[in-house]
Amino acid sequence: MEDRFHIVKLWQEQDPESIIQKYKDDVVAINCNMSHKISYKLMSALPSLELIATFSVGFDHIDLDAAKARGIKVTNTPDILCQETADTGLALLLATAKRVAEGDMFVRVGKWLSGELPLGTSLANKTIGIVGLGGIGTKVAKRCEAFEMTVVYYGPREKDTPYRYYDDITTMAQDCDMMILTCPGGEETANLIDANILEALGPKGILINIARGSVVDEPALVHALQNDIIAGAGLDVYFNEPHVPEELISMDNVVLLPHIGSATLETRIMMGQLVIDNILAHFDGRELLTEVKI
Ligand code: 8YV
């Protein structure tokens, strides 16, 4: 990229705001990830901006209406991270159900010398409810089938799959043993998992979130875990990353990851290449590879 463009590495700057001011008339593209809010205000400050290429499948951090109004194109990194993120979902599901993180600590601190870890929960013959059967949800479904689970799903519309569809998430939560969130973030799914859904999932239920922290009412989740309203949770995402509520940190029945859904060397290289390919396609006048339709 440096052969072709002047790259401003904002993350290395002490005072990013002043750097934005310095280059504001020259910025033609932004490469961001999901932890950078790309707001109307930022876009307004950059009159030459043509493209926002995010290093993520999710684009809830970008004000799409503002981009559309200005004719700014947006690209993301779909498909290539679906297997990886689904694997992370299964890692969390297994870790939570089979007490993997707790067991690891049990050995390290010497508790095994004087006792046994409480029993885990089987995945086989259980029903898992997938919230959002998109690219990542579909890969999760395939993996759960391999673990001999029954797969059901909830989403805005029924898809052509062998899995049972629910148009009502509360009913699905009542019917399943475990629930995994793979839907997009943003306004439409904000606080979708609230106190009622957690109650419907029930005292043996496990919740896995590899979507966005905004999808879950976090205080309601803390309350549900503290009061045995659900049995456990495996979380890769949080409402205010990288800040994780203290209550979650102190719980044994929760497995916490630092938003690593797509974080392997192989997948991150593919994502980075796709970002570059989209930027080059735009400035070469070719069709974008993975444009977000707005
Ligand atoms: C990010 C993600 O890409 O793709 C997404 O939407 O949440 C992650 O895979 C990653 O955290 C880098 O921003």
**pLDDT by residue (tens digit) across 11-30?**
999 999 999 999 999 999 99
pLDDT band at 56 (very low <50, low <70, confident <90, very high): very high
> Residue 145: what pLDDT?
98
Q: Residue 253 contacts by C-beta under 8 Å, 6 or more apart in sequence?
A: 96, 225, 231, 232, 233
Q: Which fold has domain 10-78+264-283?
A: Rossmann fold (3.40.50)
Locate the ligand 1 atom nearest the alpha carbon of residue 85 and give its number: 9
Residue 86 pLDDT class (50, 70, 90 cuts): very high
- Where in the chain are the domains? 10-78+264-283, 82-256
Note the pLDDT of residue 263. Answer: 98
Q: How far apart are CA 164 and CA 190, in angstroms?
A: 24
What rounded mean pLDDT belongs to the chain? 98
pLDDT of residue 46: 97
Q: Hey, which residues does 128 pair with through a beta bridge? A: 151, 178
Structure tokens at 42: 């930022």
Q: Is the CB of 56 under 6 A from ligand 1?
A: yes
- Answer whether 174 contacts ligand 1 (Cβ < 6 A): no
Place of tokens 């994502």: 271
Rounded mean pLDDT of 260-276? Answer: 98
Q: What is the Å distance from ligand 1's center to 289 Cα?
A: 18
From residue 38, how far is each of 8, 42, 51, 52, 154 by CA, in Å? Answer: 16, 6, 12, 9, 30
- For residue 239 and ligand 1, the question of a CB distance below 6 A is answered with no
- pLDDT mean over 211-230: 98
* Ramachandran area for residue 203 (φ above 0: left; ψ -120 to 50: alpha; else beta): alpha
Question: Is residue 188 among the annotated active site residues?
Answer: no
Q: Are strands 51-54 and 29-32 parallel, antiparallel or unpaired?
A: parallel
Which residue has a Cα nearest atom 13 of ligand 1?
33
Residue 48's pLDDT is: 98
Kindly name the residue from 50, 199, 241, 247 that is annotated as catalytic: 241
Percent of the chain that is helix, strand, coil (3-state, to 5)? 40, 15, 45
Cβ(78) to ligand 1 under 6 A?
Answer: no
110-129 mean pLDDT? 98
164 is annotated as an active-site residue: no
Q: Which CATH class is domain 82-256?
A: alpha beta
CA angle 119, 123, 128 (to 5 degrees): 130
DSSP 31-83: EE-TTS-B-HHHHHH-TT--EEEESSS--TTB-HHHHHHHT-EEE---STTHH
Gap between the Cα atoms of 74 and 51, Å rounded: 6
State in Å: Cα 85 to ligand 1 middle. Answer: 9
Contact yes or no for 52/28 (Cβ under 8 A): no
Residue pair 262/211 in contact by the 8 Å Cβ criterion: no
Determine the pLDDT at residue 174.
98
Instruction: Give the integer Cα–Cα distance in Å for 19 and 25.
Output: 11
Does ligand 1 come within 6 angstroms of the Cβ of 182? no
Residue 262 alpha carbon, nearest atom of ligand 1: 9
Q: Pick the catalytic residue: 36, 61, 259, 282?
A: 259
Residues 116-144 have a mean pLDDT of: 98
pTM of the predicted structure, to 2 decimals: 0.97
Which of these, 37, 84, 81, 87, lies nearest to 62 by C-alpha position? 37
Q: Is the CB of 34 under 6 A from ligand 1?
A: yes
Does residue 241 have an active-site annotation?
yes
CA distance 216 to 238: 8
Task: Read off the pLDDT of residues 169-196 as tens digits, 9 standing for 90 and up.
Answer: 999 999 999 999 999 999 999 999 999 9
Residue nearest to atom 9 of ligand 1 (CA): 262
Q: Say what percent of the chain tops pLDDT 90.
A: 100
For ligand 1, whether the C-beta of 165 sits within 6 Å is no
pLDDT of residue 287: 98
Question: Do 10-78+264-283 and 82-256 agree at the fold level?
Answer: yes
- Alpha-helix runs per DSSP H in the chain: 16-23, 40-45, 64-70, 82-97, 100-108, 135-146, 169-175, 195-201, 218-226, 246-249, 265-283
Could you tell me if 124 and 139 are in contact, meaning their C-beta atoms sit under 8 angstroms apart?
A: no
Kindly name the residue from 99, 212, 218, 282 that is annotated as catalytic. 212
